[in-house]
Amino acid sequence: MTTITRVFALSATLGGALMLQGCVVGAAVGAGAAVVGAGAKVVGAGVDAVTTSDEETRARREREQREWEREQRRCERRQRQGKDC
């Protein structure tokens, strides 16, 4: 190879390596952000799992009330048939 060809090949190789470093850094930063974001979601889900909103509390009470009323109706039907609850 001639000197000019070698210099050109070396320049192209170094230029490509420098450009790829930016890609590697960008990928590492993106992966790090994804890990931090996933960690924040896990912590948020954990906090949400141990806290109960007013709406959730109201829904649970309504569900329990409906179940109690259903049980009362079932008991009344059984009593009309002469059976125990």
Q: How far apart are CA 58 and CA 53, in angstroms?
A: 9
Residue 78 · residue 85 · CB < 8 Å = yes
Q: How far apart are CA 19 and CA 14, in angstroms?
A: 9
SS3 27: helix
Lowest mean pLDDT among 11-15, 41-45, 70-74: 41-45
Report the percentage of the chain scoring pLDDT > 70: 59
Return the higher-pLDDT residue of 15 and 43. Answer: 15
| pTM, two decimal places | 0.39
**Domain residue extents for the chain:** 1-51, 53-85
Which residues lie closer than 8 Å to 84 by C-beta, 6 or more apart? 78
Whole-angstrom distance, CA of residue 33 vs CA of residue 25:
12
